[in-house]
Amino acid sequence: MIRAAKGGLFGWVLDGYVGWKFRSAFRGLWVRGGLPGGEGSRLVYANHSNWWDGFVLHQVGRAAGWDAYCVMEEHNLERYRFLSRLGAFSIRRGEWASSLETLRYAGQLLRRPRAAVCIFPEGELRPFGVVPLRLERGVELLARVGRVECVPLAIRYAFFEHERPDVLVEVGTPHAAGTLSRFQSELEGAVRRLAETTSLEGFTRVVSGGLGVAERWDVVRGRAPSA
C-alpha cells in the first residue's frame, strides 16, 4: 500500500496551493452543525459526488484543526502520488490482504491526537441526493478497528444568487461504531437535510473564496458584499 507522507517543504507548498485553488474556484465553504474538535481522533465519512470532495475534506480538516487523512483507491493514488503529502493513503478494493493492511494502518493513524481518517464509503462517484445510498462495509470495519467517534458529513455544491458556486457541508450527529445500516441512516439523513436547503441561512462560512463580478462592483461602490 501507499502510506501518507505528510509534512516537509513540498507538503507545505502543496497545502497552500490546494487552499488557493479552492478559494479561486468557489465563493466559500459553509458548514452547518458543529465540527468536533479537541485532542480526540475520529472517523469521518461522506457522500461522494464530485472530483473536489477530497479537497473539500482537506479544507474542512484545516478549519476544524484536525490532522486529516483520506483513504484513496491505490490506482488513483499511484497516478497522483503527490496527494500522499496531503494525507492520502491507499487501498486496493476487492483484495482482502490489501484491505487488511489498510485497516491496520488506519487504526494506527487513529491513535494519534486530533487524527481524522476520512472515507467515502460509496466507493464511487454518485449524483448528489440520490438515495438510498449504497455503502461498502469498509466504513463499518474501520470504525470497529479504530473504536473512535464517527462523524457523517454531507457535501453539496450549490449555486444560489451569486456567480460562483458555494460548497455546503452538513455535519451529522457523531456516533459510536455500529452496523452498516447505522452509517447509511446517518449519512442519508445529512444528505436529505442538505438537499432541502435553499439558502445559506444557518450556515457558517469557514473558508472565504473569490468574489464574482457583481460583488467586486459592490466593493468599488463602497458596499460590502452580501453573505
Q: Give pLDDT tens digits for 172-200.
A: 999 999 999 999 999 999 999 999 999 99
pLDDT of residue 223: 63
In sequence order, the β-bridge partners of residue 156 are: 168
Asked whether the bond before 121 is cis by omega within 30 degrees of 0, the reply is no
84: cell is 500522499
Q: What is the mean pLDDT of residues 70-86?
A: 95
**21: enclosing H helix or E strand:** helix 8-25
pLDDT of residue 174: 96
In terms of DSSP H, where are the helices of 26-174? 53-64, 74-79, 96-109, 138-146
**Separation CA 118–CA 100 (nearest Å):** 17
pLDDT: is 145 or 225 the higher one? 145
CA–CA–CA angle 140, 141, 146 (5° rounding): 100
pLDDT: is 96 or 75 the higher one? 75
Question: SS3 for 41?
Answer: coil
pLDDT above 70 for 212: no
pLDDT above 60 for 78: yes
CA–CA–CA angle 117, 184, 187 (5° rounding): 65
pLDDT of residue 214: 57
pLDDT: is 193 or 161 the higher one? 193
Q: What is the mean pLDDT of residues 36-55?
A: 95
Q: What is the mean pLDDT of residues 73-78?
A: 94
**Separation CA 118–CA 45 (nearest Å):** 6
Q: Are 139 and 183 in contact (CB under 8 A)?
A: yes
**Separation CA 121–CA 123 (nearest Å):** 5
**145: enclosing H helix or E strand:** helix 138-146
Cβ-based burial of 142 (10 A; exposed 0-12, middle 13-18, buried ≥19): buried
pLDDT: is 211 or 151 the higher one? 151
Strands 67-73 and 204-208: unpaired
Confidence at 12, pLDDT banded by 50, 70, 90: very high
